[in-house]
A and B are shown apart, each in its own frame.
Chain A
Amino acid sequence: MKKAIGDNMFAKQWGLEKGLELVHKAGFDGIELWLGDVPWFQLGTTDGEVRELRRKVENAGLVVSNVSTGLHWASPLSARDPTVRARAARIVEREIETAVLLGTDAILVVAGLVTEEVPYNEVYRRSVDALRPLGETAARAGVRIGCENCNAEHRFLMSPREFGQFLDDVHSPAVGIHLDVGNIHDTGFAEQWIEIHGPRITRIHVKDVMKKRGRCGDQSVYTNLFLGDNNWPAIRAALTKVGYDGWLVAEMEARYRHAPDQQFYDTAQAMDRLISGRL
């Protein structure tokens, strides 16, 4: 397994180059690039600029692990407004295009967003319908779409069986799950999600979760590896059982208040322990 971390973790004052240097120095193999979340990688970033971005990543001794985006929170594939839906599909297409340019074969998508206004059944059907043609586009490009299990955040596909049914309904080998082991909270067990989805897992986000703490003010339910309630030995065993040998991508929400660069070193070391199984 290889380890990566997102460029959305960079402190604002660092910029891209300093951030990449830190990621490499901390011992990561790759970088997850967040389309729309950082100034150097926007929807308007040209193909030429994306190639230049890849050059900078490789010059820093890294590769791109995958392309992710948070843009679908504001523009979901499940929106009722056809204009918003079209924008959401275009975001996925741009993720696919840039993944090819950046030399990676996986993208992350937040598949649907259930709200008070847009009910579950509509979100389910619309997300399936949106992902079918996008899966064909991804397959042609040699890229896999990983739908992230955002569970409580998107109030959608809360159980691993339902997520599996959803992928069955999309029915595309190019559409799988970008599994976040921190997002399951108190609704299940990450190791079971790994066992159930096995070969459909495109990438894995790692973070820890404090299952008894809900979101409250500036308190996050998420924390750094090994500080929360995830059963890491069980997660590691499940990864071995299903033969997962791909990228582990750190996605930390709570950041260090002081010495923010230290979080990169600590996270890389914790991931080394996880990969080696010394738990």
Chain B
Amino acid sequence: MGISRRGFLGCVAGSLTAGLPLDRPRPVATRPRRVLLDLREQCALPESLSGYESALAGLGASVTRADARAASGCALLIVPAALALPATAVRAIVTCLGAGATVIIESGAGFAPSRDFAAHRVALRDHLRLHIEAPLGLWSAARRSGAVPYVDYTWPSPAQVRDFSRVVPLGRREDERDIIARVDGRPVALKRSCGRGDLIFLGSPLGPALWAGDAEARRWLFLTVRGARFGG
């Protein structure tokens, strides 16, 4: 799964110049293979949704922005900047995981009022057995130390992405072996098998970094999409 930055850039540049997007020709499908779940008012950061959309388009990966009804049967489901998770969205996520899809849930609760965060936490715990802690501001400590609090990903390959000021850390009950990113030593992202699929949780929004053109964030997404079950 490892790929160097030079290799990644070469691959992307090559695929673009050769007109070879990530998507290979395939039989006509009735369901989109990659879906961006638009939670509308429950998407806390619209720029995150735009970030995934533009980044995937830039990587030559077709993606459909849709509501929960259109998600079933997809190979990759991305839920950007989720705040509350409506029942239809939960059903779509669980169904996709059960069918073997990769599901990326990005928390958008970093800036949420405490009541909204509580609902977010309960939904993740009850439906996906994900345990999170209260949002954490990173910049008071960063100002003292003078260091930028980068999120360090270890999977699918090492990557450093700028923080988004506030993160939603994972709870202590999560299995250390599932952790794929930390910031200041705190776990903020995980990947684990769930049903027949893979669940990826991001406690620090990646979408805004994609939207702002962050190369490391795009590389992370590229490798994740490439490795997604049925996603290649």
Please pick, from B111, B165, B208, B214, the residue contacting A117 in the complex, using a CB distance under 8 A. B165
Please pick, from B45, B139, B162, B211, the residue contacting A82 in the complex, using a CB distance under 8 A. B45
Q: Smallest Cβ distance from B155 to chain A, in angstroms? A: 24
Indicate if the CB atoms of B139 and A122 lie closer than 8 Å: no
Query: Which residues on B sit within 8 Å (CB–CB) of A122?
Result: 208, 211-212
Which of B45, B47, B164, B213 has the most chain A CB within a 10 Å cutoff? Answer: B47
From residue 123 to 148 of chain A, which have CB atoms closer than 8 A to chain B?
124-126, 129
Q: Known contacts being A80-B164, A81-B111, is A129 close to B212, with CB within 8 Å?
A: no
> B24 near A: Cβ within 8 Å?
no
> A118 near B: Cβ within 8 Å?
yes
Please pick, from A83, A117, A119, A129, the residue contacting B139 in the complex, using a CB distance under 8 A. A117
**Bound CA–CA A118/B213 (angstroms):** 14
- How many B residues are at the interface, by size bracket? 10 to 19
Indicate if the CB atoms of A129 and B47 lie closer than 8 Å: yes
> B44 near A: Cβ within 8 Å?
yes
Query: Mask for B24-61, Cβ within 8 A of A = 1, else 0?
Result: 00000000000000000000110100000000000000
> A218 near B: Cβ within 8 Å?
no
Q: Smallest Cβ distance from A95 to chain B, in angstroms? A: 23
Query: Mask for A84-125, Cβ within 8 A of B = 1, else 0?
Result: 000000000000000000000000000000001111011011
Query: Which residues on B sit within 8 Å (CB–CB) of A121?
Result: 212-214
- Name A84's closest neighbour in chain B (CB-CB): B111
> B177 near A: Cβ within 8 Å?
no
Indicate if the CB atoms of A118 and B165 lie closer than 8 Å: yes
**Bound CA–CA A119/B162 (angstroms):** 9
Q: Known contacts being A118-B165, A126-B47, is A80 close to B139, with CB within 8 Å?
A: no
Q: Smallest Cβ distance from B113 to chain A, in angstroms? A: 8
**Bound CA–CA A54/B162 (angstroms):** 47
Q: Smallest Cβ distance from B162 to chain A, in angstroms? A: 6
Q: Smallest Cβ distance from B215 to chain A, in angstroms? A: 11
Query: Which residues on B sit within 8 Å (CB–CB) of A118?
Result: 165
> B143 near A: Cβ within 8 Å?
yes
**Bound CA–CA A36/B164 (angstroms):** 29
- The 4 A-B pairs with the shortest beta carbon distances in the complex, nearest first, are A121-B212, A122-B212, A81-B111, A117-B139
5 inter-chain pairs at a CB distance below 8 angstroms, sorted by A residue, are: A116-B139, A122-B211, A122-B212, A125-B47, A125-B212
Question: Given A117-B142, A121-B212, A124-B212, list of 4 further CB < 8 A pairs?
Answer: A80-B165, A82-B44, A82-B111, A125-B212
- Chain A positions within 8 Å of B, measured between CB atoms, are 80-83, 116-119, 121-122, 124-126, 129
